[in-house]
Structure formats: C-alpha cells, structure tokens
Amino acid sequence: MNTIIIALSRYLIILFMLIYTFECFFVFRYPNEESRKQIYFRQNLWMFFMLLTGYLSLLLTLKDLSILWFFLMQMVILAAVLLLYHYLYPYANRLILNNMCMLLSVGFLILTRLSHAKAIRQFSIAAFTLAICMFVPFFFQKCKVFNRMAWIFAAIGIFSIGMVFLFSRVINGSKLNVSIFGITFQPSEFIKITYAFAVAGLLYQSATFRQILISAFMAGFHVLLLVFCKDLGSAVLYFVVYFCMLYVATEKLYYFLLGLVFGAVASVASYFLFSHVRNRVAAFIDPIATIENAGYQVSQSLFAIGTGGWFGLGLAQGAPKTIPVVEADFVFAAICEELGVIFGMCLILICVSCLVMFLNIAMRFHNRFYKLLAVGLSVMYGFQVLLTLGGVTKFIPLTGVTLPLISYGGSSVMVSLITFSLIQGMYISVKEEQHKLRKG
C-alpha cells in the first residue's frame, strides 16, 4: 500500500505544481491586485497541498516522525508570513510573496530528502530572516536617504571583499567564506545588496560621462577584488548587473555592447589565468571525457536529470547524493531526478514569473533611484538563476553560484529573502503614495 501511495504522490506533486505555475501567468490577465485575490488564494492552497503530499511521501519512505513536525513548523511560518503581509501591507504584491513562499517550500522539501539536518538549519535561518524582513518594507518607506549613501554602501562592499581576500582560506580553488565567532558566512552574497545600492546611488546623481567613469571605477574595483578571490561566478554576476543598470540609466545601447566586449575579453583572460576555469570549460565541452575528475559533477547531474525523466522517480527513490555538493550547486538536478523534468520546468517558469514581475515593477517607477535599484536587484536575481541552471544542465560552464531560495546556504537564502523584501518595500511605498494622491 505504501508503495502505491508513494508512486501516486509524485504525480500529485507535479499536478499541484503545474496548476500553481499556470496561475503565475494567468494572473496577468487581470488588470489589478483586487481582481487577482482569488487566484492568489488558490496558489496558497496548491502550495500547501504540494508540501503535504511531499512530506507524507517522505514520511512513508523514511519512517521518521520528526519529518511530520518539521512540516507543521513550515506550515506555521509560511501561513504567518502570508497573513502578516496581508494585514500589515495591504498594497504588497501577492505574486512576489506567493512565489517567494513556494520557492522556499520546494527548497525545504528537497533538502529534507537530501539532509534533514541541513534542511532544519536552512529553515531556522529562513525563519529568522523572514521575521526581520517583515520590517524591511516599513523601514524602506521611512528612510529616504538611501540615494545619498552610495559611497557608504560601496565602502562596505569593498571592505568586506577585502576581508575575504586577506583572511579567507582557499576552498575548491576560491576564497569565499569568512568565519567570525564560529559563524561562517559568504560576504559576496550580502554585498549583492550594498553593490546594487551603490551603483544605483551613483547613477541616480547624474548620467554624465564623468559620473559614469566614477561608477565604473567603483564597480570595477568590486569585480577585480572578486577575481583576486577567484570567486569568478560572483564577479560575472556583478559585471553583468553593472552594465544592465548603466544601460537603464543612460538608455545608450553602446554601453551595453561595450560591456559584452569587455566580458568576452575577460572570459578569455580568465581561461588562461585560472586552472579551475580551464577545468570547468573542459567539463562543459565534454563532461564524459573528463568524468574521472573535472567532469564528474556535470556528468552525474546529467545522468540524474535523464534518469528522472518527465515524472521523476519519486521522493527518496533516486540517488542524487552521487553528485558532490548536491544540496548547494546541483540541487536542481536532484529535483529533476526525483520530482521530474516537468516539475523542474515549472520551477524555472516560477523563477521567470518572479523576474517578469520584478522588471515590470522596476519599469513603473518614476523615481529614478528606485528604478535603478529595482533593475539591479532584478538582474542580480535573474542572472543568478541562469548561471545556476545553465551550469547544472551543461548550457554554460559551471560558475558555483546557488539557486536562490532553494539551494542550501544560509548566506544565499538570507540575501534572496532580503532582495524580495526590498522590491516589495519599493512597490508598497509607491502604491501607498499613489493611493494618498488619489485620496488627496
């Protein structure tokens, strides 16, 4: 009987995910948030049904009652977040909120299957961050000086990366983490926020050639420090974000094209300068030929995705742990193996709907600083998703960045939640101002 239930559960999980994903885009049929309420409520139901089915499947397979308590704790936290946003911020964008909760849910579910201890740790960090993030929209509304703090944010970013360069140990060819009082974190994740604020603040002041040079120097210093730390994935991310923000600030396409040229030159240079880049390129070109060393992770990832097929093998029925660092860099491969390629495609579409909504919000801002900041955070999120999924599926060489809100990593999940909250804060602030103008 248990075997039949476990086999059926994977189809139910995919069904709930398909309906949720469809409604992510169906919601755009309606012109305003008021007319979308029923869709948002149904999305919450599909998310809870998917989680319930997934955890029942894990409970029957692993026979560990602590999984049930973990599921209930998640329900309490996610329900609390949804209700508090509803009452504290009536102008919040519910699609962004729902997608944030859904991506977190998928992350908790797959991490519970891979490592219950890591799932609990991720949940604890996420719950703590969600509690803090409840105040982010309120704080963003009250504090109006962020556009004048560009050099403060830049100094924080440069100092933090400098600390990594000086004091971090080399792990897997890169300097990434810093430990303070026994707490290990990745500064390059947190600096994504300060970096976006710094670039937006500098380009907000003016788009003269002199100001562009100043902002380029600041951004280039961040990127070079990351290169010295051999954190090339983050360096690429910061580089792309800067030129996208520059294009929006100036509306001159040749700046963006210039960025592509610089990026191509830097890519070739990094290939010759860094041995681990050459290994990743070799693994990208032919992972099977290098399966005994550089291509092992990519090969195992492709095997896992292929083995899962359209509908997956079922939770705890595959062998995703054959992939090194599967909880972080290759979590998407584990999802496709056990929940199926259809589920994986839905996950990609949810990320796309987040990006579409982020950019839609950014383009509606009349405030130049808000617009640039929202574009920077949006591109940061979207390009990180592309880098992660591209590396796992052999679309591009591996970069070592995580899948936001899903991959294991305390620093990553904290920054991703803060990013979603900042965009909510800007959206709520503008909506409330518009409401006051209409009443006035």
Please state, as a whole number, how many other Cβ atoms lie within 10 Å of the Cβ of residue 216: 17
The answer on pLDDT for 77 being more than 80 is yes
Element (H, E) at 184: strand 183-185
Q: Is residue 320 within 8 Å of 313, Cβ to Cβ?
A: no
Most confident among 124-128, 135-139, 151-155, 236-240 (mean pLDDT): 124-128
Residues 228-273 pLDDT 10s: 777 778 888 898 999 999 988 888 888 878 888 888 888 788 777 7
Enclosing domain of residue 181: 146-261
Assigned domain for 55 exists? yes
Please list the alpha-helical segments (H only) found in 286-319: 296-308
Structure tokens at 426: 């800007």
Assigned domain for 141 exists? no
Is residue 50 located within the same domain as residue 80? yes
Report the number of distinct structural domains present in the chain: 2
Q: What CA–CA distance (Å, rounded) separates 393 from 11?
A: 23
Q: What CA–CA distance (Å, rounded) separates 404 from 205?
A: 31
Is residue 431 located within the same domain as residue 292? yes
Q: Among 261, 290, 309, identify where a domain stops.
A: 261
Assigned domain for 304 exists? yes
Phi-psi region of 314 (alpha: psi -120 to 50; beta: other; left: phi over 0): left
The answer on pLDDT for 35 being more than 90 is no
Is residue 299 located within the same domain as residue 433? yes
The answer on pLDDT for 300 being more than 60 is yes
Most confident among 53-62, 97-106, 131-140 (mean pLDDT): 97-106
Three-state DSSP state, 232: helix
Q: Taking all residues of the chain, what is their mean pLDDT, rounded to a whole number?
A: 86
Is residue 11 located within the same domain as residue 120? yes
Assigned domain for 140 exists? no
Q: Which residue has the higher pLDDT, 296 or 273?
A: 296
Is residue 174 located within the same domain as residue 222? yes
Strands 183-185 and 174-175: unpaired
Task: State what percent of residues in the chain have pLDDT above 70.
Answer: 92
Closest CA to 235 of 179, 282, 195: 195
Element (H, E) at 429: helix 410-439
Residues 208-224 pLDDT 10s: 888 888 888 999 888 88
Q: Among 229, 261, 293, identify where a domain stops.
A: 261
Residues 346-377 pLDDT 10s: 999 999 999 999 998 888 888 888 899 999 99
The model's confidence at residue 82, banded by pLDDT at 50, 70 and 90, is very high
Is residue 99 located within the same domain as residue 43? yes
Is residue 201 located within the same domain as residue 95? no
Q: Among 201, 226, 261, identify where a domain stops.
A: 261
Q: What CA–CA distance (Å, rounded) separates 409 from 392?
A: 17
To 10 degrees, the CA torsion angle through 403, 408, 409, 413? Answer: 60
The model's confidence at residue 1, banded by pLDDT at 50, 70 and 90, is low
Strands 170-171 and 183-185: unpaired
Residue type, 178: V
The answer on pLDDT for 440 being more than 60 is no
Supply the pLDDT for residue 95. 92
Q: What CA–CA distance (Å, rounded) separates 111 from 177?
A: 21
DSSP state at residue 175:
E
- Cα–chain-centroid distance for residue 433? 29
Assigned domain for 163 exists? yes
Q: Is residue 340 within 8 Å of 309, Cβ to Cβ?
A: yes
Residues in the chain: 440
Q: Is residue 120 within 8 Å of 343, Cβ to Cβ?
A: no
Is residue 249 located within the same domain as residue 287? no
Supply the pLDDT for residue 354. 93
Is residue 164 located within the same domain as residue 72? no
The model's confidence at residue 320, banded by pLDDT at 50, 70 and 90, is confident
Is residue 33 located within the same domain as residue 75? yes
Q: What CA–CA distance (Å, rounded) separates 110 from 312?
A: 13
Assigned domain for 269 exists? no
Supply the pLDDT for residue 175. 56
Closest CA to 424 of 81, 123, 46: 81
Is residue 313 located within the same domain as residue 433? yes
To 10 degrees, the CA torsion angle through 47, 50, 55, 58? Answer: -150
Assigned domain for 270 exists? no
Supply the pLDDT for residue 438. 66
Assigned domain for 266 exists? no
The answer on pLDDT for 66 being more than 60 is yes
Residue type, 412: S
Supply the pLDDT for residue 349. 95
The answer on pLDDT for 184 being more than 80 is no
Is residue 122 located within the same domain as residue 28? yes
